[in-house]
Structure 1
Amino acid sequence: MSAVAERRTAVFAALRALLLEQPWGEVTLEAVARDAGVSRQTLYNAFGSRYGLAQAYTVHLADALCALIAETLTAHPDDPRTGLEEGLRLFLETAAEDPLIDRVRAGDAHHDLVRIVTTDAGPLLVRVAGQLEAAARTAWPQADPALLPPLARTLARLALSYVSVPPEYDDSPAVIASGLSMLLTPR
């Protein structure tokens, strides 16, 4: 891992740890820099602002969640429904454990955080859909290539909707994932 990647990983870990202890409004770049072992200027150079840091963290988290889904799709190449169900379940469980997502879901988020997954979510949706489409193409080479882009875009939008507006009912991630996978994949 390069020094830049290691520094970003340390910054995101520091941000996550701080968010477990306090709301976004109380998290300062100075505290993130201190806990990550970098200078505040390094954070400004890399992210530009607190909002830029939150956006980068969100992209980092989205990439990690897409990688989880890709792994489950690859693990079930002959059973797309199971692969998708497991991927969605892991996504929902992992997302619910993240403190930034938890703040948004609880309605305890600064408007900057909410913007990232609502009005400013276009680039994130495109990125996530692209990764999901690539994962589906790799896992399911026999699938109709015309069906994969709409499937990936639908999954990206559903995933983001569960981040920004949690379900108003108490279904478990496994129940939600099972229902979605049944709707989205043939048997």
Structure 2
Amino acid sequence: MVPVRTAIVDDHTLVREGIARILTEAGFEVVGQAASGREGWRLVRDTSPDVAILDAALPELSGVDLCRRLRQRGVAVVVLSMFDDPEWRAEAARAGAAAYVLKGDPPAALVDAVRRAARGEVLLPPPPPDASSLTAREREVVQLVAEGKKTSEIAHLLSRSVATVRAHKASAMRKLGAHTTAALVRTALDRGLVCIPNYKGGHEHP
């Protein structure tokens, strides 16, 4: 039997190596690894894998944006994320991902998702319409704001203009009812939309 050919796109080397080991031990072929969305796009164009495993939050080109591109090429996608959140799952589903696996899940969950994605199965339910929820890009921007990044830094990391980043931030503030950057971050943290270590909730400023 011809093994399922997989590509791994994640900006953390240890994560990529761990996933590669899991997939190899399960009998899959790993055709390559990439550390950013743009590198992942080039990798998939050059290798044409059956399934691509993508981190949800990638530099240069987001996991959701890359997923959309790969689906247009007929590549099945499994999204990996540290966020167990309905909106992240909904964004992955809208982008055409076959599955959404948490980084804290057991290896068997990833193996099963990749195997079923390669068979053409879709494990994600259709996303419900919700105009008030943050988009994946808005959430990426808010996450980086919460990490203390400046607008110019965020623009560079996401390969977007400063004006675009400001627009995403403003949209997120409007949706969350926040009138200041501190309120935006605090609300996003309290709702579990973003994550920074040691945040205790309540009314602390970021």
TM-score range, shorter chain: under 0.3
Structure ranking higher in strand proportion? 2
Structure ranking higher in helix proportion? 1
- TM-score of the pair, normalised by structure 2: 0.26
- TM-score of the pair, normalised by structure 1: 0.28
If asked which structure has higher relative contact order (CA below 8 Å, sep 6+), I would say 1
